[in-house]
């Protein structure tokens, strides 16, 4: 049996310990904000936090997260929208939206580790998260807005 906390709630898993965390989150807990993308940890759609670290849920076996605290996109803004979620809206980041939960989770881990990242830091941290719609400049602008402490509307039209 594997015990872990997901979004602050304790859970137990009694199945195969090699089961990817992604399938436990989606199939067992119904937390479908964490998306399946490539299944190889390359696209970042399935990014969640294990502790404070961004991890790819599609390649992380449940055996690796026993006793850990996992946060999904559903648990990121427990008191309403997280500042990154507000910035995502302000900058009109999502187009198709499929990758966005992973993008936001990766960005939140970056800002937790480095509250004032440079553009190079942002590009480096976000490089493993792919966006088929190509909204990378909007993603960077949203992260920069949160890092600078600005809130509210982005001002101007989306880039």
Query: DSSP labels for 34-89?
Result: SPPSSSSSSS-TTEEEETTEEEETTT-BGGGSTT-EEE-HHHHTTTSS-HHHHHHH
| Res 79: pLDDT | 81
* Domain limits, CATH 3.10.20.30, in the chain: 2-76
CATH of 2-76, one of 1.10.1740.10, 3.90.70.10, 3.10.20.30, 3.40.50.300: 3.10.20.30
What does the pLDDT look like over 60-72, one tens digit per residue? 999 999 999 999 9
What does the pLDDT look like over 109-132, one tens digit per residue? 999 999 999 999 999 999 999 999
What the block records as the tokens of 117 is 């990242």
Record the pTM.
Answer: 0.91
Q: For residue 134, what are the contacts with CB-CB under 8 A and spacing of at least 6?
A: none
CATH fold of 83-147 reads DNA polymerase; domain 1 (1.10.150)
Which of the 8 DSSP states describes residue 96? S
* Domain limits, CATH 1.10.150.120, in the chain: 83-147
């Amino acid at each position: 049996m594997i015990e872990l906390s997901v979004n602050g709630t304790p859970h137990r898993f009694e199945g195969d310990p090699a089961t990817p965390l992604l399938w436990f989150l989606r199939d067992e807990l119904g937390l479908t904000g964490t998306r399946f993308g490539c299944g190889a940890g390359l696209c970042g759609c399935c990014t969640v936090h294990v502790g404070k670290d961004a991890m790819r849920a599609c390649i992380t076996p449940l055996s690796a997260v026993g006793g850990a605290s996992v946060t999904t996109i559903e648990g990121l803004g427990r008191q309403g929208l997280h500042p990154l979620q507000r910035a995502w809206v302000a900058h009109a980041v999502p187009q198709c939206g499929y990758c966005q939960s992973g993008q936001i989770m990766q960005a939140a881990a970056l800002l937790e580790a480095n509250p004032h990242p440079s553009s190079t830091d942002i590009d480096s941290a976000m490089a493993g998260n792919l966006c088929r719609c190509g909204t990378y400049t909007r993603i960077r602008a949203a992260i920069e807005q949160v890092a600078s402490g600005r809130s509210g509307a982005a001002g101007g039209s989306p880039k």
